[in-house]
Structure 1
Amino acid sequence: MTSTLWVLAVCFPLLAGVSAGFAPYADRTQTFSRTLVTREINPRFRRDAGVRSSSFTPSEVTLSAEELPKLEDNTHEITFLDDDGSSFILTWVGDGTGVILVLSTYNLPEGWYLGVSSSRLYRSEDSGKNFHDISHVINNTYIRKEFGIIVGPGNSGRVILTADGEGVKSGVIFTSRDSGKTFTRIDLPFYPFKPITYHLSNPDYLLVSSIDKCLWLSKDFGNTWIKVHDNIQTYTWGQGDTLFFSTSLKLTVDADRRGELLLMRTEDLGNTFTTVASKIFSFGYLGGFLFTSVVKNAGDPRVIYISTDQGDSFNQAQLPSATMEQFYSVLEADNEMIFMHVDEPGDTNFGTVYTSDAQGILFSKSLEHHLFTMLGKSDFTNITSLRGVYLTNVITEDGYIQSVISYDSGGEWISLNKPENEECDTSAQNCNLHIHGEYSVFNNKAPMTPLSDPSAVGIIIAHGSVGDSLTRPDVFVSDDGGYSWNKTLKGPHHYALLDSGGIIVAVEYYPEKPIKTMKFSTDEGQSWKSYNFTDLPIIFVGLASEPGTKTMNISIWGYRPEDEYKATWVSVTIDFEALLNRDCEEKDYVEWVAHSTTEQNKGNEGCVLGYKEKFRRLRKLSVCRNGRDYIIIREQSPCLCTKEDYMCDYGYYRHENSSECVKQADFKDQDLELCLNGEEEVLQTTGYRKVPGDKCEGGFTPKRTEKDIHKLCGQQSQSQERTAVTAVSICVLVLALSVGVFLIVRKYVCGGRMIAYRFSALQLQDDDLCIAGESEQSAVINEGGFHDDSDEDLIA
């Protein structure tokens, strides 16, 4: 997905104490919000087995005599000579503005007698070709490194810097409405505990929690603040002006109180409140779905409920039960469906992926042995360059990692095809491509996860290896959404997409080896040209480009060591516009039907999820620029429905290599009873339900109905306009009906058997990773990393 925020943050440690010793410049290359470690746990990466014996040589093309001076004339190197900051945070402000802010901070570590901290603020208006020290606009105030630079949504031009006030009861922010040209100092009546979050559509609305667990709201971009509520635990923006937060009636909301929390909602920015759920442990909001994990009775495992109407009503997710040692985790959610991971018992580091119906209630099994470690790392990736495509990794019985891909939103998962220009070693039992994901980045096996973007149709760039499981990474490129792949670069690299995929840039990854060369391709990775972007090598830190892929500029960041305690930060920006000096014309594009270009899909005419799409794409050999105004042109047409457009309904499953859905043994000769919107219904089905988002028409149309049997069930929210007297009356009514409701719930789905759909976690913090209260709209800036979107923090 695209985002209007791009943050690059790098920190390196100073002396930890005279007696502790010092490793100069250690961990400076830890970028992209990852803490790279060398510790290895099961699942494992193969080290020797399956190593390929290929004669592949990347196609390298020498820069012409005309191209070299054009690049040299448009390469701009900035050296921050007088800056001795121990960390740099680089942030783009908006998309297409060319504005970059850089925050440099210097801290002496704990253990030193003198507490010395300082900050410098730099600004560029030309995509990093020139920077100006603007520290004076914030009166040279020290800015809190852990909060970084908080940029508003879209091209709002809003920027917030957070500083310390006098004492722990007050804080200071600097706000800008003009992309950092000017700043206004504002003294806060509280001390911020978390970074300030913006409302998605109105950047004047700000939300933050204080160190004393109060929730504060501003309606005028921080000039004035009102206290929304005391004693809050987590919070998030919902749709419109809706705000959710969890709170406790007790004096504390620590871990011991979780499971006793209330989920509150305000739809008018704190004027009135509604309790939408009680006894909750945690909650989250993503893709229009409100998730809550509820403790029905003290000591019981947690149960997950889902709401699609902002908390007016909840339905219990129909998922397999989980013990206290297991957890659920939402991998992905949009307005059409949810991908849910259910952990396996024991310390297995894997589980099962289920996909939901459009209401987020009924789930079907999608993928077994899915990699999800106890450390909260999963390789599940949404390939945004082609609809319906998801990529992830599974664990074999012997504990090794293999990759699978789905082209129909989880309906079927298959192995990745072996690239034509690669061969497997004879010792490999199977020969497929395997892709490194988040778990590999965490374990320092690869520097980046797979990269795709909606503007670069069909293109995926990823680290991978060929064999029977993951080994040492090379760079592979797919131009058709993952059906076919080509090895394009040897060894690990950092990479970026420019000009809507018209240019791919890569820099070889060496943790501590200085570099001065970058590579770029104008034909989707089929050939590469090398360019020395500097005369004096730098220790590479990262690539910095505008959000999305429209830009023609790329900045390479790093540092040059001067001595054991000091380094000089360097930014080199390269503008490719002069090199691609011709605008693309109609002759430079070709029509392409998605999901139909390989032998694997021969005969389906590109019908996936009920319709086919025809795109206009750039020809590989066309050396021209798409430009910032480039718009994806697509044509959509529906297909006839087949069984492939349907998932197996609740209580049914598909035999391997079969499209037929058959009833599970546990449900034979029993009615399928469901709790929907507080009323029990009997599901009458022939075993099929359409895949969410599928747009097929006619053809195979199985019958499916839900018959209301007029029985209450589940958990209902309180009315939004309930008076105190009415609330008491309803509470009495609930108590009077509690026994009857319990008897109904006991026959919940399987008649007479109590099916528990538990939501629990390995540890308290693990549950936070699964369902946390961070907003999907907020930009979270972590020390030592960058985030282009906060969804990673919302749902793990």
Structure 2
Amino acid sequence: MLTKLYDFNLGSVTESSLWRSTDYGTTYEKLNEKVGVKTILSYLYVSPNNKRKIMLLTDPEVENSLLISTDEGATYQKYRLGFYVLSLLFHPEQEDWILAYSHDQKLYSSVEFGRRWQLVHERVAPNRFYWSKMGLDKEPGLIHLETTISDTQALYITCKLQNCTEANKGKPFPGYIDPNSLVVQDEYVFVQVSTGGRPIYYVSSRRDLFTPMKLPKYTLPKDLHVISTDENRVVAAVQEWNQNDTFNLYVSEAGGVYYTLALENVMSSMGPEGNVMIDLYEAPSTDLRGNSIHCILPYCSLHLQLHVSANPYTSGNIASKESAPGIIVASGSIGAELTSNNVSIFITSDAGNTWRQIFDEEFSILYLDQGGALVAIQHTPLPIRHLWLSFDEGRVWNKYSFTSSPLFVDGVLGEPGEETLIMTIFGHVSHRSEWQLVKIDFRSIFNRRCTEADYQTWHLHNQGDPCLMG
């Protein structure tokens, strides 16, 4: 855990501390002497392929270095950097391969987990560089990147990780593209070219030739964003000429060329670098069904809110996990239309086919033991001391006290994978107090092993009939 002391008078971080726990947060060891007592740390990264490997970046205003650990943060080695790192991109399979983007638009690569760096290319657009994908690209060390030519022109090029010379560069798209338009995602590559003030969107499937994306005849797009490329098809958010703050969602066939309208007037917020923020959850939409929800209004439906949480340590308005198939928890309202008033929490155990209301106020829901236990913590600006726990997919909830003094909850931490039964709540007792961490261990509650009678065969049904569409 990395903590920082921010001096509001100076407008900068003046002190940092590094903490390590090997017992799920019961005790912590302070590691400042191991990284340098006067060292100010700015970022902490854990390798996505090997959690034993950790990288720390120092504050470049004080010292431009990085520290590397290969034993889960017990010891560190320091290495000087010749450039200021703005962002890092770890390779999805090779644990020692990293791309680093600098403050002066240069891209560097390392194949030794940051111990040595090599310049890849200059004038690279921010966040427009991508690793090759196994099985699609010819070489595992290939990099896709967008390089800036001018304010209105850019190039899409590919080159080798360790040898990005003019002789080794590839140019998959013939000609210039619009700046900040390259997207490489799964088996698809997208670029945009403007002619006469009108954008033309191109797609390449499985690294084949680029083809203009074909929307329905009367669609007049002024903006397009790729939202999803799962399941061998593309979901695109298109803002048409008569829309200002809403988008229409279009779905393609496997090649990503031909599109049909899927959903109109989707609200969206704008993310970093001008990206459109739309949450897409692959569960069927639903009308009101189920004995637990009663509605007497005409045209009455359940409307789910898909707002992205501003706090990365809370679950947001909808929560689903791959490790808990079929279970989705979402906030929403019942009525004729979507509203931000009278928000309640709903749960489905059959992937969105039927829903049950579980709370009449907003809560964060956390998954433990692959959905075997659900923990609910109330969304409130007031201090709290209770949480709710369910072992039957939200049908029965039991209330527990987790602290003697009420706590302003800032967030909840759990080990990735949702298999653990240990979680940590962090917050503060008052607005002027230091952070408090509360470790909660649910292992003692699970006092028996599952038997055959605890399992049931799960079938997805649509109003009583078996689902025909998979």
Q: TM-score, normalised by structure 2?
A: 0.88
**Alignment partner for residue 16 of structure 2, among 119, 122, 131?**
119
The answer for the alignment partner of 1:606 in structure 2 is 467
Per the TM alignment, residue 235 of structure 1 is displaced from its structure 2 partner at its CA by 1.3
Q: Is the 8 A contact 2:315 2:365 kept in 1?
A: no
Task: Give, in whole Å, the separation in 1 of the partners of 2:10 and 2:99.
Answer: 36
How do residues 64-463 of structure 1 correspond to structure 2 at under 5 angstroms? 102-109=1-8, 112=9, 117-145=14-42, 148-165=43-60, 171-192=64-85, 194-233=86-125, 234-239=128-133, 240-249=140-149, 257-271=150-164, 272-277=168-173, 278-281=175-178, 282-295=181-194, 297=195, 299-310=196-207, 313-320=209-216, 326-334=222-230, 336-373=232-269, 379-383=278-282, 389=283, 405=285, 415-424=286-295, 428-438=297-307, 441=309, 448-463=316-331
Task: Give, in whole Å, the separation in 2 of the partners of 1:608 and 1:121.
Answer: 51
Q: Is the 8 A contact 1:417 1:484 kept in 2?
A: yes
How many residue pairs end up in the alignment? 448
Letter in 2 for 1:465: S
Q: Is the 8 A contact 1:495 1:505 kept in 2?
A: yes
**Alignment partner for residue 543 of structure 1, among 396, 401, 412?**
412
Letter in 2 for 1:345: W
Task: Give, in whole Å, the separation in 2 of the partners of 1:275 and 1:554.
Answer: 48
Matched, 1:503 2:373: yes
Task: Give, in whole Å, the separation in 2 of the partners of 1:305 and 1:330.
Answer: 12
Per the TM alignment, residue 360 of structure 1 is displaced from its structure 2 partner at its CA by 1.2
The answer for the alignment partner of 1:468 in structure 2 is 336
How do residues 675-714 of structure 1 correspond to structure 2 at under 5 angstroms? none
SS in structure 2 at match of 1:136: helix
SS in structure 2 at match of 1:275: coil
Per the TM alignment, residue 348 of structure 1 is displaced from its structure 2 partner at its CA by 3.8
Letter in 1 for 2:389: F
Task: Give, in whole Å, the separation in 1 of the partners of 2:423 and 2:199.
Answer: 47
The answer for the alignment partner of 1:533 in structure 2 is 402
How do residues 378-777 of structure 1 correspond to structure 2 at under 5 angstroms? 379-383=278-282, 389=283, 405=285, 415-424=286-295, 428-438=297-307, 441=309, 448-469=316-337, 470=339, 471-511=341-381, 513-561=382-430, 566-593=432-459, 595-596=460-461, 598-599=462-463, 602=465, 605-609=466-470
The 1:521–1:113 alpha-carbon spacing in structure 2 relative to 1, beyond 3 Å, is closer
SS in structure 1 at match of 2:171: strand
- Higher relative contact order (Cα pairs below 8 Å, separated by 6+ residues): 1
Identity of aligned residues (%): 26
**Which deviations, in whole Å up to 9, do the C-alpha atoms of 1:113-170 show, x marking residues without a partner?**
696611011111222232221222211354454xx32111133422111113467xx8
Q: TM-score, normalised by structure 1?
A: 0.53
Task: Give, in whole Å, the separation in 1 of the partners of 2:413 and 2:124.
Answer: 37
Task: Give, in whole Å, the separation in 2 of the partners of 1:371 and 1:349.
Answer: 7
SS in structure 2 at match of 1:175: strand
Higher strand proportion: 2
Task: Give, in whole Å, the separation in 2 of the partners of 1:322 and 1:300.
Answer: 16
Q: Runs of 4+ in structure 1 displaced over 6 angstroms?
A: none
**Tell me, which stretches of 5 or more residues in structure 2 are unaligned?**
134-139
Q: Is the 8 A contact 2:303 2:333 kept in 1?
A: yes
The 1:559–1:306 alpha-carbon spacing in structure 2 relative to 1, beyond 3 Å, is same
SS in structure 2 at match of 1:302: strand
Per the TM alignment, residue 377 of structure 1 is displaced from its structure 2 partner at its CA by 5.8
The 1:335–1:140 alpha-carbon spacing in structure 2 relative to 1, beyond 3 Å, is farther
The 1:317–1:151 alpha-carbon spacing in structure 2 relative to 1, beyond 3 Å, is same
Per the TM alignment, residue 356 of structure 1 is displaced from its structure 2 partner at its CA by 1.0
Task: Give, in whole Å, the separation in 1 of the partners of 2:177 and 2:294.
Answer: 53
**Which deviations, in whole Å up to 9, do the C-alpha atoms of 1:499-554 show, x marking residues without a partner?**
1110000111111x111111100011111111111111111111211112211112
Per the TM alignment, residue 488 of structure 1 is displaced from its structure 2 partner at its CA by 0.8
SS in structure 1 at match of 2:182: strand
**Which deviations, in whole Å up to 9, do the C-alpha atoms of 1:253-304 show, x marking residues without a partner?**
xxxx244111110145434211223311221111221111123x4x532221
Task: Give, in whole Å, the separation in 1 of the partners of 2:291 and 2:14.
Answer: 55
Q: Is the 8 A contact 2:87 2:102 kept in 1?
A: no
Task: Give, in whole Å, the separation in 2 of the partners of 1:335 and 1:220.
Answer: 34
Letter in 1 for 2:468: C
The 1:447–1:554 alpha-carbon spacing in structure 2 relative to 1, beyond 3 Å, is closer
Root-mean-square deviation (CA, aligned residues, Å) is 2.5
How do residues 35-50 of structure 1 correspond to structure 2 at under 5 angstroms? none
Q: Is the 8 A contact 2:50 2:95 kept in 1?
A: no
Q: Is the 8 A contact 2:409 2:428 kept in 1?
A: yes
**Tell me, which stretches of 5 or more residues in structure 1 are unaligned?**
1-101, 250-256, 384-388, 391-404, 406-414, 610-796
The 1:524–1:115 alpha-carbon spacing in structure 2 relative to 1, beyond 3 Å, is closer
